[in-house]
Amino acid sequence: MSSESDWEIPAHSQPRPEDWSFDLDRALSSTLTVRATIPSDGFTAETLGTERAGNGVIIGDDGLVLTIGYLITEAETIWLNLADGRAVPGHVVAYDQETGFGLLQALGRLNLPAMELGRSSAVRAGDRVVVAGGGGRKHAISAKIAAKQEFTGYWEYLIDDALFTSPAHPNWGGTALIGSAGELLGIGSLHLQQSKDSGPPEHLNMHVPIDLLKPIYDDLLALGRPNHPPRPWLGLYATEVDSKVVVAGLANAGPARRANLKIGDIILAVGGKEIDDLAGLYRGIWRQGEAGVEVPMLVYRDGKTIDFNVRSADRQRFMKSPSLH
């Protein structure tokens, strides 16, 4: 989207106040847009870009904003744009690699309500929800929970109970997933397509469930990350092909590249246990210990099986630290 004013959700898809028992417009006033600039030499600059835009949700009366972390990781500058036209600077408080959540602190008074955190564990498929970006009703969509299930991402990411909504919001990053009582159930992360037996594929948004924030919330505020050892990270991008896990890419200077894994390698086993999907790969890696542990892998390449020991790393150490204000 090129600006906040040149698009809107079609009127028939926008939520209507009379359809909800809570104050819809008050809840939507807790959302805002987030714009971030990232140094060109940042680790994520090539894959995620140096200019990022999305949404966030005010969750603290002091101007604390929850968003999706990929919008703000390595950010050099942050601007929070409000529906009344104000632009307030912000800074990164935390980014959790495991859940994908990011926290921002507004560096000016927002004078807007905070949204209460709900219970994503209580959500069921078929529940009605609102998916909202900054900008009020014109940037919000009436939706339903299409599914609640495991999600695996090719960048060494796994969520057990991700929330999927339909129809999809066109500007999904950092959107608020709002439940029937006006509470925050999750944060928008991705746009996906799901094949159907007949007809065109269904477009969905994946949301990170809010229950994942609660156990680490205090740590994120105090330390900028969860207070436990980081998971081992290999820096490989994998995909599933015919029930095989195939290396599709390698992070520059990452552990997998340094260990001489190659694009096209088929990963057969981790830690002596066979794997046949991405979830099995990630859980196998994480079972080996904390970041820095050696990860034994069995790989099939050019008709041969090869043993590798990949010295893992803490992914966060490859990122630029947030700028202080």
pTM exceeds 0.85? yes
- Distance (Å, rounded) from C-alpha 8 to C-alpha 243? 41
- Distance (Å, rounded) from C-alpha 210 to C-alpha 98? 13
- Distance (Å, rounded) from C-alpha 236 to C-alpha 310? 11
Residue 3: predicted pLDDT:
44
**Which residues on neighbouring strands pair with residue 163, listed in sequence order?**
148, 207
Residue 28: predicted pLDDT:
97
**Which residues on neighbouring strands pair with residue 267, listed in sequence order?**
245, 299
Bridge pairing between strands 273-274 and 294-301: unpaired
Tell me the pLDDT of the chain (325 aa) as tens digits: 334 457 899 999 999 999 999 999 999 999 999 999 999 999 999 999 999 999 999 999 999 999 999 999 999 999 999 988 899 999 999 999 999 999 999 999 999 999 999 999 999 999 999 999 999 999 999 999 999 999 999 999 999 999 999 999 999 999 999 999 999 999 999 999 987 777 788 999 999 999 999 999 999 999 999 999 999 999 999 999 998 999 999 999 999 999 999 999 999 999 999 999 999 999 999 999 999 999 999 999 999 999 999 999 999 999 988 665 5
For the chain, the structural domain boundaries read: 11-228, 236-318
The closest of 77, 158, 153, 154 to 320, measured between CA atoms, is: 77
Assigned architecture for domain 236-318 = Roll (2.30)
Return the beta strands (E) in 25-156 as ranges: 31-37, 51-58, 64-68, 77-81, 87-95, 101-106, 128-132, 140-153
With vertex at residue 91, the alpha carbon angle to CA 212 and CA 102, rounded to the nearest 5 degrees, is 15
- Distance (Å, rounded) from C-alpha 52 to C-alpha 36? 5
Going by CATH, does the domain composed of 11-228 fall within 2.60.40.10? no
